[in-house]
Structure 1
Amino acid sequence: MSPSTNDKPAIGDSSSGVLRKPDSWIKQDWRIILFGFVLMYCSSPGQTYFIALFGGEIRADLNLSHGEFGAVYSAATLCSAFLLLWSGRILDRALLNCFVVGVVAGLATASFVMSFATGALSLFLAIFLLRHFGQGLMGMTSVTTMMRYVPAHKAKASALSHMGYSAAEATIPSVIVACLLFTVWQDIWRWLALGLILVLPLLLSYLLQSHKAAKKRAADGHAKQSSNADHVVENAYLEGPQWSRAQVVKDPFFYAILPGLTCQSLLYTGYMFHQVHLVESKGWSLAVWAGLYLVFSLTTLSMSFVLGALVDRFGALRVIPWINVPMMFGLLVLASSSSILTAVVFMVCMALSTAGQASSGGPFYSERYGNKNLGAIKSLGSFYMVLMTAVSPIILGYFIDQSVSMNVLALGGVVYALIVSVVAGFACKAALLSPKPKPNVPV
């Protein structure tokens, strides 16, 4: 890689000279931020915690063991990850409003297919569609939109939009548990499909009414000189080298940091997928456990904006090495006790690492590789994340079937998180000490 010196102030840094008042960007871009929030909230049917809430009923009706259910889930997730490598690139070329309507239609179809799952094959198809359109494309669209349309405050905007996911975790689990007391799980998925297709396209179309103006502001290519200071507003949309996806796959730094950046997704997915077994093995109440999602969400909500501000101020590279530390502490506590207070500490620590990942993940891709091909590049990161979430349920399911305790699995998670965090820390330190590289192949 050929280095290049870049003395421009970092976007979001106090020296960058952004002229608007601290809260004016929210007033100006609130529709775009709310658009990302709604996408994150409505990605829930494709998220592990949501599907796992039906795990007991699905396994009972389809006569599947923990390992078999985990194998179907992992295989479907893995296939959705490979498809994401192709479908994620469409976001760079398609009209945003058309793309997002297609994603909503896909998620609604997936929910409908899930309601008619009667065996392993139909369950595989349903989970494949749910994971691809929900966890994959809907979440990726939210993050990419924040990076492109609110570039000067990308970390804070990403944190605000990610609060939709936290809000969903705070409200949905208790509702699902209550609904399962009165109706069968298949009916819940049918209602969900109907709600998605009738409500979401209209709401998202309304929120996107101002997205062209937001894009124009972000892509304004000329610097503006302040009348009362020597500060310059830089071109945030296409500032610095603009990498292609082919160039990113040749960057060693990408592979060094990615395991640490996605560690929380891997471990959180494994535990949430097998949450019913975790609750039973610890002797906790499932209703109480569902209520702890509120604690998880409130912690994530309160910390996401704080960490987003830190990322905007100091950069993602300085934050990423530390995002897994709270989760490691939570796993140690989980392995040490079966008290219900252990569950509270575990969820709070997981929430802190979730907030860290949400606040630094998207900005890392934007800072390092630029915004021009961000959809294609983000799909690489999303592919790896989905791949990790495909691996963890089947691995944990296998060990559970072999009678390995959740305490031992928690300690194994600590060891893995420590290793990938140390590697990511050295990689980030090396990147901060060296000039920002240009891609080694012309775009």
Structure 2
Amino acid sequence: MSLVAHSPPLRDLNGRQINWIGAGYLLVLSSLPGQTIFIAQFNSALRENFSLSNGEFGLLYTAATLISSICLIWAGGLVDRIAPRTLGLICITALALVAVLMSRVNSILALGIALFGLRFFGQGMMSHIAMTAMARWFNRFRGRALAFAQMGFPTGEAILPYVLTLAIIAYGWRQVWLAAAVFLIVVLAPVIAFLLNDPPDGKRALARGIINPDAQNCSAPTGSKWNRSAILRDPIFYLIILGVMGPAAIGTLFIFHQAHLSQIKGWDIGVFTAFFPALSLSVVVFAIISGLLVDRLGAWRLLPFALIPQGFGTLALGLFDPVWTIPVFFVSFGITGGIMSPVAGALWAEIYGTAHLGKIRALATSAMVLASAVGPGLAGVLIDLKFDLDRQAFFYAAYCFVVSGAYFVFLKKFKARAEIMAYEQTTAQGLPLVLP
């Protein structure tokens, strides 16, 4: 028995669907001022301005991100009640205002508040809105829609480190934050509003009786029993969360402490940041491949493989010092990021259905944000204790391999859950399950 329907070619997408995917891409791109890869470029300037050590700044960043993850548990559920267009525009406006605040911070308290706003509205809500909408609006194209939407991340990863470094040198870090705020409001927000003007679950479509163009997308939400309390009692949820948290924590801590990593390895920081396009390219390539495989095989089948490349890349950081280690690190992390994004985005719908998808993804995104909070903070404290990143790397590699092994052990459990949800969806549609 196959758990997924026939995967149609991309040419079957119509104009409305392409607009939705484009909006998902721009929502993800808009989240970048709240992502570590953006904020990390200001690490040295902020620590110097406020006289903070690696550990102190890491703990402040951790605290801001931790509070953000707690707030996201509640706020993430708003995606189930408020249209993505409305909620997205609210969050992008708030993110722009926080960027203005960031340009004017003059105390550690103000810095902490600004970091919280960046992490909550940027890393948390913007990406959460995008991924939830893609998972809910698409079925046969779900994996590829998620893959294309998340291309906003590698777009920023390829361009921002180098551009931000030059801009900070030329104009100062405060002016760069002001420029980011202007770009969000003047450029990105209007385009997102236009692309999301006619969503499949919007009032206009419902009034005209227009159904979702993804013909096998069930009009009746599935997984109605999986509300928040039921999810929190399910052991499978926590097992999956371990894989979601791993890349967030490990990837974030190495990017956040890139200056320290370059110093102990004897690398020029400019050489390190010059390899960011390798990360972006590998994310793009493997996101496209993974998105296609999700649509054909199901996300649950790919999950056990996702963390393995990052495990080897982290191990390489611990073992080797030559400059060639940098592209190995970036490519391996990019492979995991490329695989994990469409897999994690689609997996929740495959295992738990779409009825409470916003709340489920809010829990998952909150866990991811929490992991990205703990990673830099813990690593920074260990660095202050003279336990450098190259020694920490062995423990992070072990985490990746152990979690991957657990996924292989529980693969039959994932299959059973996916079968139940596939049966519920096809029964509601009056369609038979697709046989091999």
The TM-score, its normalising length taken from structure 2, stands at: 0.90
**1:188-246 Cα shifts (integer Å, max 9, x gaps):** 111111221222221111111232478969xx99999xxxxxxx964435464332222
Greater shift after overlay, 21-30 or 341-350? Answer: 21-30
How far residue 247 of structure 1 moved from its aligned partner, in angstroms, is 1.7
Q: Which residue of 1 aligns with 2:304?
A: 321
Q: Secondary structure at the match of 1:372?
A: coil
Distance 1:234 1:311 in 2: 16
**1:119-150 Cα shifts (integer Å, max 9, x gaps):** 22111100100000000000001101111112
Q: Which residue of 1 aligns with 2:430?
A: none
Alignment of 1:121-132 (within 5 A): 121-132=109-120
Distance 1:214 1:343 in 2: 46
Q: Which residue of 2 aligns with 1:164?
A: 152
Residue 283 (structure 1) aligned with residue 283 (structure 2): no
**1:144-193 Cα shifts (integer Å, max 9, x gaps):** 11111122211110000111111111111111011122121111111111
How far residue 437 of structure 1 moved from its aligned partner, in angstroms, is 5.1
Of 321, 327, 336, 2:319 maps to 336
Q: Which amino acid aligns with 2:112?
A: F
Q: Secondary structure at the match of 2:120?
A: helix
Q: Which residue of 2 aligns with 1:195?
A: 183
Query: Quick check: 1:221–1:235 contact (8 Å CA) kept in 2?
Result: no
Of 15, 23, 31, 2:19 maps to 31
Gaps of 5+ in 1: 1-6, 225-231, 439-443
Distance 1:26 1:234 in 2: 15
Query: Quick check: 2:99–2:118 contact (8 Å CA) kept in 1?
Result: yes
Greater shift after overlay, 316-325 or 234-243? Answer: 234-243
Of 130, 137, 158, 1:142 maps to 130
**1:85-118 Cα shifts (integer Å, max 9, x gaps):** 1111111111222111110111111111111222
Distance 1:198 1:422 in 2: 47
Q: Which residue of 2 aligns with 1:229?
A: none
Distance 1:223 1:56 in 2: 48
Q: Which residue of 2 aligns with 1:417?
A: 400
Q: Secondary structure at the match of 1:262?
A: helix
Of 236, 240, 262, 2:218 maps to 236
The TM-score, its normalising length taken from structure 1, stands at: 0.89
Query: Quick check: 2:137–2:212 contact (8 Å CA) kept in 1?
Result: no
Distance 2:379 2:122 in 1: 23
Residue 84 (structure 1) aligned with residue 72 (structure 2): yes
Residue 406 (structure 1) aligned with residue 389 (structure 2): yes
Query: Quick check: 1:257–1:423 contact (8 Å CA) kept in 2?
Result: no
Q: Give the direction of change, closer, same or farther, for the CA distance of 1:365–1:435 in structure 2 (3 Å limit).
A: closer
Alignment of 1:18-417 (within 5 A): 21-25=9-13, 27-212=15-200, 234-236=216-218, 238=220, 240-242=222-224, 243-417=226-400
Distance 1:364 1:88 in 2: 17
The RMSD of aligned alpha carbons is 2.4
Q: Which amino acid aligns with 2:180?
A: L
Question: Which stretches of structure 1, 4 residues or longer, exceed 3 Å deviation after superposition?
Answer: 212-217, 220-224, 232-240, 433-438
Gaps of 5+ in 2: 422-436
Distance 1:292 1:47 in 2: 18
Distance 1:185 1:222 in 2: 48
Query: Quick check: 2:65–2:369 contact (8 Å CA) kept in 1?
Result: yes
Q: Give the direction of change, closer, same or farther, for the CA distance of 1:345–1:425 in structure 2 (3 Å limit).
A: same
Q: Secondary structure at the match of 1:118?
A: coil
How far residue 364 of structure 1 moved from its aligned partner, in angstroms, is 0.6
Q: Which residue of 2 aligns with 1:441?
A: none
**1:389-420 Cα shifts (integer Å, max 9, x gaps):** 11111110011111112221111111122222
Q: Give the direction of change, closer, same or farther, for the CA distance of 1:255–1:174 in structure 2 (3 Å limit).
A: same
Distance 1:211 1:223 in 2: 9
Distance 1:190 1:117 in 2: 12
Q: Secondary structure at the match of 2:59?
A: helix
Query: Quick check: 2:3–2:419 contact (8 Å CA) kept in 1?
Result: no
**1:42-65 Cα shifts (integer Å, max 9, x gaps):** 211100111011100100010000
How far residue 429 of structure 1 moved from its aligned partner, in angstroms, is 2.8
Query: Quick check: 2:223–2:355 contact (8 Å CA) kept in 1?
Result: no
Work out the number of aligned pairs and report it: 417
Q: Give the direction of change, closer, same or farther, for the CA distance of 1:117–1:427 in structure 2 (3 Å limit).
A: farther
